[in-house]
Structure 1
Amino acid sequence: MITDTISLQTRWAELRQQQPKVRIRDAASQLGVSEAELLVTGVGETVVRLTDNFRDLLKQVPTLGYVMALTRNDVLVHERKGVYQKVSFSEHVGLVLGPDIDLRLFMQRWQFGFAVNENDRRSLQFFDAQGQAIHKIYLTDQSDLAAYETLVATFRASDQSTELMLTPPVETVPDKADAAIDVTGFRAGWLAMQDTHEFFGLLRTYGVGRQQGLRLAPEGYARQLSLDTLNQVFATVAERELSIMVFVSNPGCIQIHTGPVKKLVQMGPWYNVLDPTFNLHLNETLVDQVWLTRKPTADGVVTALELFDRNGQNVALVFGERKPGKPELAGWRAVIDTVLTES
């Protein structure tokens, strides 16, 4: 699919006249296009197309210094400030393992990259083959602007056209019927896990969807909760100054915050964490289900909250702060027990 850029430029200009504060993702939705299709209309003015050498580019991001990393899906926006450190890649997965910026990057999904200057707010933005945003990196007042300009010049693509060739999305495969699942084997596999990362492989082995797997979990290991319960967990964590881990994901990236949450603010349908180095924006109207899960590991049971959108996609995970080799925080379990008792 090739975008009719000239027509789209006109339509977007008209929309911005009508709605001066409209965000590009919302504008794209209103205009029936992807965010990348809107962004590419600015090439030659406010946007520079970058090469697809994303691995080498990301290895240079630490030179930018203190930045803001943004990863989102339709339900949540995760913003974390800090410095990119320990950037590495295996065959398909990239890692950023700093104390502040903590990412898992699924590079087969990365298709387009742009450098953007929006009213002197500079960023690097990356998109998948359907034009959906994967990850964005925004400069702050403490960033190295000269390093940013060097990076953009180094990775500037020879093609600076405003055409964008997109690929239609792959249709999702519906879950198999519960009756077709070896539920006994799946539950035994759940109880035998030694690491939470084994859960994805367990689902794949038994051909089970993630949400379906929670329904079929062993007794006492998964429980559906109300959205109010999630808010109570955040409020209790903030009150007790407990360090947690918040994972927000899309098909190309998982971004993780580890630390406390303090300033919690409700703004219409949005439930927000508004702390100096971490912001989270949760659109409550788009959350379909919240689950409490318990998964065995070599370090004991690990308790998590899992959020799903209306398409059954897992969009966020919340844990107590933990590292392999250490048991789950007793304070996190106490928060969960307190909230469940009160709900």
Structure 2
Amino acid sequence: METISLKEQYLAFKAENPRKRIRDIAAALKVSEAELLMTGLGENVIILENKFEDLLKEITTLGYVMALTRNEYCVHERKGVYEKISFGPHAGLVLGPDIDLRLFMSHWKSGFAVDDNNLKSLQFFDGNGVAIHKIYLTDKSNPEKYRELVARFRKADQQVVALLPDPAPAKPSLPDDEIDVAAFQQAWAALQDTHEFFGLLKRFNLNRTQALRLAPAGFTKQITTDDFKTVMQNCSVKQAPVMVFVGNQGCIQIHTGMVTRLVEMDVWFNVLDPEFNLHLRMDAVASVWQVVKPSNDGDINSLELFDAEGEMIVQLFGKRKPGLPELNEWREVLAMIS
């Protein structure tokens, strides 16, 4: 599809559907969000050099911004300052008290500076043109530093860039009867840190929902979407601090703190707090699990929501730091759905 004809389609669709978001328009037009953005090159969109680690190290200079990470069915928005930014061989980290990210940079393939009706942002995409992470300026941000960063990281060639699709990630495919369930259950019960869980899945060649089904007795329980809502409502009423994880293949974003204003709108379950917003499509949630993972600090409980393909949508923990036991307030909230 030629970019010029796509631009015409995009503008016509927006005119007829002014409330539609670009991701939804892209799906309707059967193109990627990045392709739609590039129809604005030379007007309100600038391609950035693929030096994203260098750029991210300087995001702190923008001051107070809004970080947005999403997957197909959940949007996680957190306001604050990017702090303690570092990159290692496996992942990047942003470890401020407000903006808390895990970055998997091999998936970051294109980036753009976007000015959408004076709403300025930096947006990053994978090889399929699917959004990985977005950074929006707020009225408390430093627009001059934004202009400086965009000028420094602006790509010399502002022609449309070809997308290089990422291969679909291989998923474990061993049937249940080929898995050493007894050894897996023993290894689960011997976990000493929740971060060991991913390695456990790889070791036994399990996908996540399969692991939850085969877990040792008492470590997992399938619950309902209403149970999830009840937990969120009780966290709000009791002001029990939580950790809310939402991610995609290139970024995981974490909110640590309270959830207060909960609003249901059509199929969406929302948290609408001043510093944190969550938008969760409840009709896409195929299963909800309460999961217990042993650790050196005692058992750690989480709620995990999955779509019909077994992909994680959102994960919820009680607020905690390594070396500290799980909060009693979180356990009390979970006990109310038992």
**TM-score normalized by the length of structure 2:** 0.98
What is the deviation of 1:156?
Answer: 0.3
Alignment equivalent of 2:247, drawn from 240, 246, 249: 249
Q: Find the counterpart in structure 2 of residue 269 from structure 1.
A: 267
> Quick check: 1:50–1:115 contact (8 Å CA) kept in 2?
yes
**Alignment partners' CA distance in 2, 1:197 and 1:173:** 20
Say which SS state the counterpart of residue 130 (structure 1) adopts: coil
Equivalent-residue separation in structure 2 for 1:298 and 1:37 (angstroms): 47
Give the deviation of 1:164 after TM superposition.
2.7
- Could you say what secondary structure the match of 1:200 adopts? helix
Distance of 1:135 and 1:302 partners within structure 2: 28
Does the 8 Å contact 1:289/1:309 carry over to 2? yes
After the TM superposition, which segments of 4 or more aligned residues of structure 1 sit over 2 Å from their partners? 162-166, 171-175
Q: CA deviation at 1:315?
A: 2.1
Where do 1:281-300 residues align within 5 Å?
Answer: 281-300=279-298
Rounded to whole Å, the distance in 1 between the matches of 2:124 and 2:259 is 28
2:323 match? 325
DSSP-derived class of the 2:57 partner: helix
Partner of 2:131: 133
Aligned counterpart, 1:308: 306
Shift of 1:169: 4.2
Give the match for residue 16 of structure 1: 14
Task: Find the counterpart in structure 1 of residue 256 from structure 2.
Answer: 258
1:155-166 matches, cutoff 5 A? 155-166=153-164
Report if the CA contact (8 A) 1:42-1:162 is conserved. no
Given that residues 203 and 209 in structure 1 are in contact (C-alpha distance below 8 angstroms), is that contact kept between their aligned partners in structure 2?
A: yes
CA contact (8 A) 2:129 2:163 kept: no
* SS of aligned partner of 2:18: coil
1:175/1:212 contact within 8 Å kept:
no
- Distance, in Å, in 2 between the alignment partners of 1:141 and 1:72 is 23
Q: Is the 8 A contact 1:292 1:304 kept in 2?
A: yes
Deviations 1:112-140 (A, max 9, x none): 00000000000000000011100000000
Structure 2 residues without counterparts, runs of 5 or longer: none
Deviation at 1:98, TM superposition (A): 0.3
Aligned residues: 338
For residue 54 of structure 1, the aligned residue among 25, 43, 52 is 52
Displacement after TM superposition at 1:162 (Å): 2.3
Show the counterpart of 1:103: 101
Aligned partner letter, 1:123: S
Decide whether the 8 Å contact of 2:171 with 2:207 is kept in 1: no
- The one-letter code sitting in structure 1 at the alignment partner of 2:300 is V
Q: Which of residues 174, 188, 193 in structure 1 aligns to 2:191?
A: 193
2-structure distance, mates of 1:204, 1:142 = 43
**In 1: Cα distance, 2:214 partner to 2:147 partner:** 52
- Segments of 5+ residues of structure 1 without an aligned counterpart are none
2:221 pairs, out of 220, 223, 241, with 223
Kept in 1: contact 2:193–2:295 (CA 8 A)? yes
Question: Does the 8 Å CA contact 1:63/1:144 hold for their aligned counterparts?
Answer: yes
Code of the residue aligned with 1:87 in structure 2: it is I
User: Aligned partners of 2:90, 2:152: CA distance in 1, in Å?
Assistant: 23
What is the root-mean-square deviation in Å for CA atoms of aligned residues? 1.0
* Distance in 2 of aligned mates of 1:259 and 1:51: 35
Provide the secondary structure at the position in 1 that maps to 2:244: strand
- What residue is the counterpart of 1:38 in the other structure? 36
The alpha carbon displacement at 1:246 in A equals 0.2
Give the counterpart letter for 2:283 in structure 1.
T
Percent identity (aligned): 54
* Counterparts in 2 of 1:7 and 1:166: CA distance versus 1, 3 Å: farther
Post-superposition Cα deviations, 1:67-97, rounded to whole Å, max 9, x if no partner, equal 0000001111000000000000001310000
* AA of the residue aligned to 2:107: R
Structure 2: how far apart are the matches of 1:60 and 1:136?
15
Q: Deviations over 1:148-202 (max 9, x none)?
A: 0000001001121124323164264353100011101110110010000000000
Question: Where does residue 234 of structure 1 map in the other structure?
Answer: 232
Aligned letter for 1:54? F
Q: 1:90 aligns with which of 84, 88, 104?
A: 88
| 8 A Cα contact 1:28 1:35, kept in partner | yes
Alpha-carbon spacing, 1:171–1:321, altered in 2? closer, same or farther (3 Å)? closer
Which one of 194, 201, 205 corresponds to residue 203 of structure 2?
A: 205
**Quick one: which amino acid aligns to residue 259 of structure 2?**
V
> Residue 288 of structure 2: SS of its match in structure 1?
strand
- Partner of 1:194, secondary structure, is coil
Cα contact 1:40–1:164 (8 A) shared by 2: no
